[in-house]
Structure 1
Amino acid sequence: MLLPDDCLCFIFSFLDCRTDRESFGLTCHRWLNIQNLKRRSLQFPCSFGIVGPSSLSQSCTDISSFHLYRILTRFQHLEYLSFSGCTELTDSALNYLKPYGSRLQTLCLDCCFRISDHGISLVGDGCPSLTTISLYRCNITDTGLEALANTCLALRRVNLAYCPHISDSGLRALSQGCCELQAIKISSCRGVSGVGLRSCSSTLVYIDAECCNLKPEGIMAIVSGGGLKFLNIAGLSCSNFRNGLEAIGNGFAAGLKILSLRMCRSVTDASIVAIAKGCPQLREWNLALCHEVRILGWASIGSNCHNLEKLHVNRCRNLCDQGLQALREGCKRLSVLYMNRNGWISDTAVELFKLYRCNVKIKFEEVMSIGPNWDNLYDDE
């Protein structure tokens, strides 16, 4: 009991065992206070994290204003807080972020259906140090995004996947107001065309825009910042995109390393050739279900993608023996090829590929997601 608080804090920081850390506060009120001060993250049993939930937990806990007040007054040094799955959390509860949320860097509100634009404005006012926010399936609008852009200037990662009420106007506010923005998820945001990201900062390296209503001018806007390393625009099937994806290879995305065009059924050889020539740093490329890619496209990939390590060609109807040969003779750094057998590829072509490229693993399976988690954007550098 004679040890000062700073010594106790030092001792607590060296406890590696989770059980020991949780038991530390059972000793006395003073040790409990030390434990509370050292707590940096809190995630409720109903939470499912920032990566992207698939379903709510059975043991979902409703968090009231009183609960949040008790939590924030007890743990005043939190940097990570997740209410993901707390479907009954209301705007009024977020009032307590203002006096106690100044240290928060990550806030997860996935599937908090009762949070509105007003609640998001309270988050902005109370969490000026916020760098990551996840609003998966929230009912916010562009007004809420504008409030965030005006107050949380240090934002780097924003998850807006399945937010049905946002548009390019809100994205424009974020991209222009948050100059350190690195990653944004807008998957299945049907009101987004992409033009809201025009003239975005070069710090923006990660964009996940799967199943959005992107337009050709939107693609040009998305790559306009010049810093992209990861781009997922899977699910484009509009006739507008027969050659609209050529913008990716026009020079602004020269540093692109991971690209998913999965289910872009109308993308043609012209776009494939432009991307293969204009994105020499590509390491992983998903072309699964891209039925219009033919010999010219496969030959261009083999000739130009010298850094490609992983290629997905599952269920590409026009991948034939000649196309597989072009990939076999090029792509010297290829290590994994995801494919399936179709009527145009003979067993002989597959066996020749295995013979001449024995270092390449052929996997007859489809991988739905590619690339790194957005928390590890620079791990490959």
Structure 2
Amino acid sequence: MEVHSIMDLPDDCLIFIFQALDCGPDRESFGLTCHRWLRIQNITRRSLQFHCSLSLFNRSPSQSNIDISSYRLSRLLTRFTYLRSLSLSGCTKLPDSGLAQLQFSGHDLRALHMDCCFGITDNGISLISTSCPNLAVISLYRCNVTDAGLEALACSCLGLRDVNLAYCSLITDRGVSALSQRCRELQAVKVSSCRRISGTGFRGCSQTLAHIDAESCKLEPEGIMDIVSGKGLEYLNLSGLSWQFQADALGPIGGGVCERLKILNLRMCRTIGNESIYSIAKGCPLLEEWNLALCHEVKLQGWESIGRFCNNLERLHVNRCRNLCDRGFQALREGCRRLSALYISGSYRISGHTIELFKLHRGHVEIMEKEVMCIGPHWTSQ
């Protein structure tokens, strides 16, 4: 009688068995059985993240983490050759040479996170661009990349969809333009605190670009028009605009090019006036969340236009708005029929009586006393 064992199964069956394991220790122990099972374990691994990597909400590398060496990274990339996601975030001392192995194992990579990789320069970015042509997501938060590195990415990684360049202080509109012109599948770009960005790099961007985070950039009125030029925006963060902006400078957002816009963050845009508020309220009918905290120049006419036109608005932030008074608050109470949350901390010109009337007539609306610093899909309150 012929005896069969599990070792007689073909590789595809062993791969199916490994993928069916739902217990972490079992999956980790699978490769300890023999060399063949170790190979099965290696080729089925799709993601790799090091202990020094940054968490989603903690962008500072832990002091207790041991920085990965180029040799160790090379060994791991040699072992796991079919990775689709790799996070090196927090590897602050990793040099460009540490990425050399990607030219042999980077073809399948779809997501690469390199937040705070301070040792990576344009040479490393160029190596990534040629080694990982199928990248869809790349995060270079606080990296020393310049326009030359972005141009290299734009030339080779045409399928990029999500690019995080926040706090990349060396990039300018030239690099952003290379991405927006060549990567026509772009969906999200973050350039927060990039002080050399005026916004003109987004001119002629694809309609697929739905998410732009440009907080604390030195945007110009012309740049605002270029940012909305793709007509596909659903999320826009322009918080912290310069004091030099005129009251009507944000009017183009409501000029018929942002009809899909759902989330708009204008926190600390202190000079935005009633003209821009009216234009946005009327021209963005799908707006669901709007942050106007510290927008001191919005006065009664602005609040009335929000109440009148923002029929889909669900969350409104009016924290510390100096010119939000009882009449303006009444306009919000009588309009905004879908409102479910109102953030009003520090709004000292609104009387307690007016707030109680709001609660009486709009009891389903939650009055929030805490300010939300970041709005949208990943907002956190403080």
State TM-score, norm by structure 2.
Answer: 0.95
Q: Cα RMSD between the aligned structures?
A: 1.2
Task: Tell me what 1:294 maps to.
Answer: 299
Q: 1:11 aligns with which of 1, 9, 17?
A: 17
Distance in 1 between residues matched to 2:348 and 2:277, nearest whole Å:
23
Q: Provide Cα deviations, 1:158-202, integer angstroms capped at 9, x if missing partner.
A: 000000000000000000010101000000000000001001000
In the alignment, does 2:132 pair up with 1:127?
A: yes
User: What is the CA-CA distance between 1:341 and the residue it aligns to?
Assistant: 4.8
Structure 1 window deviating more from structure 2 (18-27 vs 6-15): it is 18-27
SS state at 1:290 partner: coil
Structure 2 residue 327 is matched with structure 1 residue 322? yes
Partners of 2:74 and 2:101 within 8 A in 1: yes
Q: Which residue of 2 aligns with 1:72?
A: 77
1:232 pairs with 2:237: yes
The answer to whether the 8 A contact 1:210-1:235 is kept is: yes
Q: Which residue of 2 aligns with 1:378?
A: none
Q: How big is the shift at 1:52? A: 5.9
Q: Deviations over 1:103-138 (max 9, x none)?
A: 000001111111111110000000011000000000
- Partner SS state of residue 241, structure 1: coil
In the alignment, is the contact (CA less than 8 A) between 1:87 and 1:112 conserved in 2?
Answer: yes
8 A Cα contact 2:318 2:347, kept in partner: no
Match of residue 28, structure 1, among 30, 34, 37: 34
- Residue number in structure 2 paired with 1:331: 336
- Point out 4+ residue stretches in structure 1 off by more than 4 angstroms: none
Give the CA deviation at 1:63: 2.6
- Give the match for residue 188 of structure 2: 183
Instruction: Work out which of the residue numbers 14, 37, 45 in structure 2 matches 1:39.
Output: 45
Q: Is 2:78–2:101's contact at 8 Å kept on the other side of the alignment?
A: no
- The equivalent of 2:169 in structure 1 is 164
Quick one: distance in 2 between partners of 1:131 and 1:272? Answer: 35
The Cα of 1:308 is off from its aligned counterpart by 0.4
- Which letter maps to 1:360? V
TM-score, structure 1 length as denominator? 0.96
Which residue is equivalent to 2:287? 282
Equivalent residues of 1:52, 1:136 under 8 A apart: no
**C-alpha separation in 1, matches of 2:283 and 2:39:** 57
What amino acid does structure 1 have at the position aligned with 2:14?
L
| 2:300 alignment partner AA | I
* Closer/same/farther in 2, CA of residues 157 and 42 from structure 1, 3 Å limit: same
- Distance in 2 between the 1:306 and 1:150 partners? 43
Mark the runs of 5 or more structure 1 residues left unpaired by the alignment. Answer: 375-381
Mean CA deviation greater in 344-353 or 66-75: 66-75
The corresponding residue for 1:343 is 348
For 1:107, which of 104, 109, 112 is the aligned residue?
112
Aligned position for 2:155: 150
- Which of 63-72 and 309-318 deviates more? 63-72
Q: CA deviation at 1:373?
A: 4.6
| 2:260 aligned with 1:255 | yes
In the alignment, what sits opposite 1:55?
A: 60
The AA in structure 2 aligned to 1:206 is: H
Aligned length: 373
Report the AA paired with residue 96 of structure 1.
Q
Residue 379 of structure 1 is matched in structure 2 by none
Unaligned runs of 5+ in 2: 1-6
Report deviation, 1:43.
0.5
SS at match of 1:6: helix
Q: Which residue of 2 aligns with 1:90?
A: 95
Deviates more, 1:28-37 or 1:109-118: 28-37
- Which stretch of the first structure deviates more once superposed, 19-28 or 252-261? 19-28
SS at match of 2:295: coil
Contact in 2 for aligned 1:263/1:290 (Cα 8 Å): yes
The CA deviation at 1:270 is 0.7
Aligned with residue 86 of structure 2, among 69, 81, 88: 81
Give yes or no for contact 2:245–2:272 (8 Å, CA) kept in 1: no
